Amino acid sequence: MEIIKLINALPGCVSQGVIWGIMAIGVYITYRILDVADLTVDGSIATGGAVATVLLMAGVNPWIALIVAFVVGMLTGLATGIFHTFMGIPAILAGILTQLSLYSVNLAILGKANLPLNATKLELLISQRNVRALSLDNPLIVLAIVTAGVIALLYLFFGTELGCSLRATGANNAMARAQGINTNTNKVLGLMLSNGLVALSGALLCQYQGFTDVGMGRGAIVIGLAAVIIGEVLFSKIFNNFALKLLAVSIGAVIYFVVIQVVLWLGLDTDFLKMLQALVVAVFLAIPYWKGKYFNKKTGKGA
């Protein structure tokens, strides 16, 4: 348990956290703004990776690959949205159905279960090899730019008439409809936006780790939720602005990966990692419930 090993691992944790932070911002849109738990993400993050991998191997400009991955991710959200609104399937189940079918889709895109991306031969935006580089090659530069761009665009979007109507849809369906808002269209739109971001994150992740695996999204929703909740628990008191709330999600993802690293460094067998992830999220989800049930009798409901 040398501390130096942990310190050495930290830059990688931060980069990974920022990548997953983009995914978690997507989860925030569905889970917090639209108030639906969307499980499409376990599939769409790999879809983003698969699309980007194939494009990068064909020599496509990596920024274009990111945009295409985003658009394809939106289509996966569209599928879930249609299952949910048009076919009346509960949101969770709709997400599971899409996630399952995406496994086949991802295999079809990749051609096999796993494809490597060679950072020396291909033009990639980021690579794990440069996590400790003190130059523009450091993945954090690109990641910071992408994250800032995503947050800025979302901040602008949710300030528009359409964005406000999306927030109203999540906040109060009945009210939204009474104000003439097509709540079904908005749910589909929110799911598309969310999964677009998740796929974008997958497109960055495959470059960073140097490969895409059809199973790379397993349990992604849990990491996304963990980031959202950690961000809220730590920053909800100080961050009121919407852009800062999204930033909190990103920081939440970084903290999550640092904590996991510390736990591994303390000697946890990696086989138990997924279980640990699930338990951490379970406990964080339980905190507001416990608070309301046992400590909050007098103050009543919060906003």
Partner 1 sequence: MANTMLHINHIAKTFNPGTITEKKALLDVELTLNEGDFVTVIGGNGAGKSTMLNAVAGVFPVDSGKIEIGGVDVTHLPEYKRAKYLGRVFQDPMTGTAATMNIEENMALAMRRGQPRGLKWGIRPMEREMYREQLRTLGLGLEDRMQSKVGLLSGGQRQALTLLMATLKTPKLLLLDEHTAALDPKTAAKVLELTEKIVAEQKLTAMMVTHNMKDAIAIGNRLIMMNAGRIVVDVSGERKKNLTRAEVMGLFEKAAGEELDGDRLLLS
Q: How far is it, in rounded angstroms, from Cα 26 to Cα 94? A: 17
Q: How is residue 263 written in tokens?
A: 């736990």
Nearer to partner 1, 172 or 277 (CB): 172
Complex with partner 1: residue 128 or 172, whichever CB lies closer: 172
Structure letter (DSSP) for residue 84:
I
Q: Measured from the CB atom, is 39 or 189 closer to partner 1?
A: 189
Tell which one of 179, 279, 291, 293 touches partner 1 (CB under 8 A).
179
d(CA 116, CA 206): 9
Amino acid in position 203:
A
Position 303 contacts partner 1 (CB under 8 A): yes
Cβ 186 to partner 1 shortest distance, Å: 9
Closer Cβ to partner 1, 103 or 155, answer by number: 155
Nearer of residues 130 and 169 to partner 1, judged by Cβ: 169
Does 128 participate in binding partner 1 (rule CB under 8 A)? no
Taking the complex as a whole, the smallest distance from the CB of residue 45 to partner 1 amounts, in Å, to 27
Mark the segment that binds partner 1 (CB under 8 A) among 98-106, 128-136, 166-174, 253-261: 166-174
Instruction: Please compute Rg for the chain using Cα positions.
Output: 19
Sole binder of partner 1 in the list 178, 237, 241, 270 (CB under 8 A): 178
CB of 32 to partner 1, least distance (A): 9
Question: Of residues 3, 58, 161, 267, which one binds partner 1 by CB under 8 A?
Answer: 161
Q: Residue with structure tokens 């460094």?
A: 265
Of 74, 79, 125, nearest to 98 by C-alpha is 79
Asked whether position 236 contacts partner 1 by CB under 8 A, the answer is: no
Give the separation between CA 196 and CA 125, rounded to whole angstroms. Answer: 19
Contact window for partner 1 (CB under 8 A) among 15-23, 165-173, 194-202, 263-271 = 165-173
3-state secondary structure of 212: strand
Minimum distance, C-beta of residue 303 to partner 1, in the bound complex (Å):
4
- Backbone phi, then psi, for 115, in 5-degree steps? -130, 130
CA-to-CA separations, 110 to 60, 75, 113, 117, 266, in angstroms, rounded: 16, 17, 7, 12, 37
Question: At CA 79, angle to CA 73 and CA 83, rounded to 5?
Answer: 150
Which stretches of the chain bind partner 1, using CB under 8 A?
157, 159-165, 167-168, 171-172, 174-183, 301-303
